[in-house]
């Protein structure tokens, strides 16, 4: 049954190009969006009250299907590459036409006004128009939620229009295949079609902020999480997907600022988002109580499986995808601060999940090493699920976030370098990946040890211990750390076959050097000295 159908087009919906719409469901509450989802059979409730949905064909982002309209604005400003792919204005117009036509044919659609950037100086007003109520709830969870007063004269800066069930014809639309996310800076629009992976909505806005903030506001935008200690000391955690940004920022002893996207202005660190988007594979209440307890009414669980005959989630079941997720408003984490703003950071952590088991679990970086590692953006994932493939898959993604960075990585790196120098920030490398050997032989570093190492840094407990330089990577490895067995601090000690460790370390160092080749010319001697040596 329809409840509270709004039958008039809302507040200039025509700005989006969508006309003649009758059943606009504007700014519904989470409860109403959950009811709509259940009514349409697009989700069910788990026993903890979270809404459980499936995202269909796509259970992760599709970077090869993301396009930016090449026009006067973007032509010479975008760093065109395989993740910043150009598309012609004429195709944007065609796709926009298809999407508006599609929305005009729907019996109902959901509209949400929200904003990005917790610091009001940089606020971006966003109108999200979705063909599914659960996507609208995702926008409620993930973006900042305006109060009634702020809604009164809400004129959106940007539109996100999401139509998961609209399949594009690549021959007509100029896309690679039937799905695409298309950004137009001229029209200030992100069009998403053919994919129901909710993460495209949030990472679309992240992409445009990574374009706008550094160029127009002199704010460094970052793919990182952030939290703040009792003494007001902010820490930030960079890292590619699965390295631990969300997990490690949810720290019972520190207040959460945000789990994925932040800006670094002249005087603060601020969250872009109003919610978190956590991985749930192998989640346990014991190891990650804050995230576990956020899975309650209003939260959306994606692609999880219930224990047979129940509505109880089996978090160990990755049969749909290993990338099972939950989104929730940031205040579902009990110690989140609002507004999500902290002071300038004292410590920066670069998280890597090194499935080769080579990098030390914690190490201090010189400014040159820090820049080298930031530009490299290394992690190594566990290889795919295909039988027989055991080698970890190395990834180098500049600034720990290349898929979301429309500008040249050098722009972000320069800003970070300047800020690190100006504020004398300590930079640490944290390997949350393998110890005791590579994937298949060793094991993943225990979360409690990684947490203990980070706590030790933040409490200043590594200030007085001795360090030793890693013979290949040069970074300074502490010889002891409170609450961590000393023999795991040097990864070489944890391998039974030392010569195998040495060979693999050289192999990995070579990958770094080869990858850095393309940045070599623009790099200073100090940064080049941060490279591994073989
Ligand atoms: P994304 O950018 O995709 O959101 P993320 O960096 O936020 O990725 P997390 O969601 O924090 O990554 O994922 C880290 C995963 O690794 C979690 O499932 C966590 O339980 C698991 N994990 C296991 N051991 C560790 C460890 N030592 N440190 C951090 N995370 C660990
Ligand atoms: Mn995350």
Phi and psi, residue 221, nearest 5°:
-95, 140
Cα(289)–Cα(334) distance, rounded to whole angstroms? 10
The pLDDT value given to residue 385: 55
Cα(298)–Cα(31) distance, rounded to whole angstroms? 7
CA of 224 to the centre of ligand 2 (A): 8
444 in ligand 1 pocket by Cβ < 6 Å?
yes
The pLDDT value given to residue 388: 61
* 444: β partners: 434
The pLDDT value given to residue 14: 82
Q: Please name which ligand lies nearest the alpha carbon of 245.
A: 1
The atom of ligand 1 lying closest to the CA of 445 is: 27
DSSP single-letter state for residue 342: E
The atom of ligand 1 lying closest to the CA of 449 is: 27
CA of 99 to the centre of ligand 1 (A): 35
* 467: β partners: 478
- By alpha-carbon position, which residue is closest to atom 26 of ligand 1? 447
* 363: β partners: 429
- By alpha-carbon position, which residue is closest to atom 9 of ligand 1? 244
303 in ligand 1 pocket by Cβ < 6 Å?
no
**Cβ neighbours of residue 152 closer than 8 Å, sequence gap 6 or more:** none
Probe residue for ligand 1, chosen from 222, 243, 244 as the CB with the greatest number of ligand atoms within 8 Å = 244
Cα(205)–Cα(264) distance, rounded to whole angstroms? 17
The atom of ligand 1 lying closest to the CA of 430 is: 28
The pLDDT value given to residue 152: 86
* 256: β partners: 227, 336
Q: Beta strand 85-87 with 66-69: parallel, antiparallel or unpaired?
A: parallel
**Cβ neighbours of residue 366 closer than 8 Å, sequence gap 6 or more:** 474, 530
- By alpha-carbon position, which residue is closest to atom 29 of ligand 1? 244
Which positions are annotated as active-site residues?
A: 61, 203, 223, 241, 245-246, 260, 325
Closest Cα partner for 135 from 177, 195, 92? Answer: 195
405 in ligand 1 pocket by Cβ < 6 Å?
no
Q: In a 10 Å sphere around its CB, with 0-12 CB exposed, 13-18 middle and 19+ buried, how is residue 71 labelled? A: middle
Q: Per-residue DSSP letters for 386-403?
A: STT--S-EEEE-GGG-GG
The pLDDT value given to residue 384: 62
Q: Please name which ligand lies nearest the alpha carbon of 244.
A: 1
452 in ligand 1 pocket by Cβ < 6 Å?
no
The pLDDT value given to residue 22: 80
The pLDDT value given to residue 153: 85
The pLDDT value given to residue 386: 56
278 in ligand 1 pocket by Cβ < 6 Å?
yes
Residues of the chain with pLDDT under 70: 1-12, 383-390
Q: Kindly calculate the radius of gyration of the chain based on its CA atoms and give it in whole angstroms.
A: 23
């Amino acid at each position: 049954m329809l409840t509270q159908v709004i039958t008039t087009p809302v507040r200039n919906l025509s700005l989006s190009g969508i006309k003649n719409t009758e059943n606009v469901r504007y700014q519904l509450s989470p409860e109403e969006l959950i009811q709509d989802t259940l009514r349409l059979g697009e989700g069910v409730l788990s026993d903890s009250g979270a809404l459980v949905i499936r995202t269909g064909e796509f259970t992760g982002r599709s970077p090869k299907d993301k396009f930016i309209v090449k026009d006067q604005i973007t032509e010479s400003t975008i760093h065109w590459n395989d993740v910043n792919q150009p598309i012609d204005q004429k195709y944007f117009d065609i796709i926009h036409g298809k999407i508006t036509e599609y929305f005009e044919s729907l019996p109902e659609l959901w509209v949400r006004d929200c904003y990005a950037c917790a610091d009001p100086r940089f606020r971006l007003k966003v109108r999200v128009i979705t063909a599914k109520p659960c996507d609208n709830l995702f926008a409620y969870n993930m973006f900042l939620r305006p109060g009634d007063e702020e809604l009164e004269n809400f004129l959106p800066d940007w539109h996100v229009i999401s139509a998961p069930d609209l399949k594009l014809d690549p021959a007509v639309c100029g896309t690679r295949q039937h799905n695409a996310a298309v950004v137009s800076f001229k029209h200030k629009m992100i069009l998403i079609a053919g994919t129901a992976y909710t993460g495209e909505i949030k990472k679309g806005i992240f992409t445009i902020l990574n374009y706008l903030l550094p160029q127009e506001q002199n704010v460094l935008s970052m793919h990182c999480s952030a939290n703040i200690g009792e003494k007001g000391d902010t820490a930030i955690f960079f890292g590619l997907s699965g390295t631990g940004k969300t997990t490690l920022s949810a720290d019972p002893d520190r207040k959460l600022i945000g789990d994925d996207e932040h800006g670094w202005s002249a005087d603060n660190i601020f969250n872009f988002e109003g919610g978190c988007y956590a991985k749930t594979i192998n989640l346990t209440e014991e190891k990650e109580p804050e995230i576990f307890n956020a899975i309650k009414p209003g939260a959306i669980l994606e692609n999880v499986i219930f224990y047979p005959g129940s509505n109880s989630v089996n978090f160990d079941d990755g049969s749909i995808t290993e990338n099972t997720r939950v989104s929730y408003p940031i205040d579902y984490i009990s110690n989140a601060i609002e507004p999500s703003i902290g002071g300038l950071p004292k410590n920066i952590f670069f998280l890597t999940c090194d499935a080769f088991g080579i990098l030390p679990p914690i190490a201090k970086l010189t400014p040159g090493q820090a820049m080298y590692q930031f530009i490299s953006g290394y992690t190594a994932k566990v290889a795919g699920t295909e039988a027989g493939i055991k080698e970890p898959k190395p990834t180098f993604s500049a600034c720990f976030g290349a898929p979301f960075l429309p500008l040249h990585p050098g722009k972000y790196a320069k800003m970070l370098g300047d800020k690190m120098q100006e504020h004398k920030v300590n930079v640490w490398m944290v390997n949350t990946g393998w110890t005791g050997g590579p994937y298949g032989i060793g094991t993943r570093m225990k979360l409690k040890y990684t947490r203990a190492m980070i706590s030790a840094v933040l409490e200043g407990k590594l200030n007085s211990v001795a360090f030793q330089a890693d013979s290949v990577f040069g970074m300074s490895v502490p010889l002891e750390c409170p609450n961590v067995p000393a023999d795991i601090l040097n990864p070489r000690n944890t391998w039974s076959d030392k010569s195998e460790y040495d060979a693999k370390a050289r192999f990995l160092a070579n990958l770094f050097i080869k990858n850095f080749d393309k940045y070599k010319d623009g790099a200073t001697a100090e940064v080049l000295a941060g490279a591994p040596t073989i």
